[in-house]
Amino acid sequence: MAGRQGSGGKGGSRSSAPKYPRGARVGATLREIIADELVRIDDERLLLVSITSIDVDPELNRAFVYFDSLEGEEGDEAIVEALGEHRVRLQSSIARQIRAKKTPILDFRPDLVIRSAERIDEILRSDRDRIDRAGAESAPDTGD
């Protein structure tokens, strides 16, 4: 009797095997938990805050939580302060919802990548407007 191929033995691949690193999976789960918990927290400083990404170190000791808000850089200090005040509540929520031996310490930071992208977009838009204005000024007047 011939051996079965793809039986999941040595050398075979398991269909339930993770497709991306553990830190990324944990980060995605933490993002979901923290975002849900922020909705429940009654703190005006956190009303317009979005969690944009989370980077977790390989040992799960620390998680860098990146956020953005409609208040921009002017609101960062108050938001970091508010998130720090609610850190214990957020970490307790994480501990209840994930199956891990430990939960990472949360470190909150503004998402500078998004802000840099917004600045680049603004520069490109203003440059495009400048080119359009220059083109309109140099276009010949066909006055009928």
In sequence order, what DSSP letters do the residues of 55-124 get, joined into one string? EE-TTSSEEEEEEEETTGGGGHHHHHHHHHHTHHHHHHHHHHHS--SS-PEEEEEE-HHHHHHHHHHHHH
Residue 57 placed within a domain: yes
Residue 34 placed within a domain: yes
Which residues span the domain enclosing 37? 22-111
Residue 83 placed within a domain: yes
pLDDT of 21 higher than 50: yes
Residue 72 placed within a domain: yes
In what helix (H) or strand (E) does residue 52 lie, and over which residues does it extend?
Answer: strand 49-56
Which of these ranges, 76-80, 88-92, 98-102, 125-129, has the smallest mean pLDDT?
Answer: 98-102
Segment 81-99, tens digit of pLDDT: 999 999 999 999 999 998 7
Confidence of residue 4 (pLDDT cuts 50, 70, 90): very low
Please state whether the predicted TM-score (pTM) of the whole model is above 0.75. no
Instruction: Tell me how far apart the alpha carbons of residues 27 and 25 are, in angstroms, rounded to a whole number.
Output: 5
The domain tally of the chain equals: 1
What residues have CB less than 8 Å from 67, skipping those under 6 apart? Answer: 49, 50, 51, 52, 79, 83, 108, 109, 110, 111
Residue 101 placed within a domain: yes
Residue 44 placed within a domain: yes
Measure Cα distances from 86 to 13, 38, 57, 62, 131 in Å.
Answer: 42, 9, 21, 16, 48
pLDDT of 123 higher than 60: yes
Instruction: Kindly report the CATH number assigned to the domain that includes residue 49.
Output: 3.30.300.20
Residue 119 placed within a domain: no
Residue 15 placed within a domain: no
What is the rounded average pLDDT for all residues in the chain?
A: 83
Q: Confirm if 84 and 41 have CB atoms less than 8 A apart.
A: no
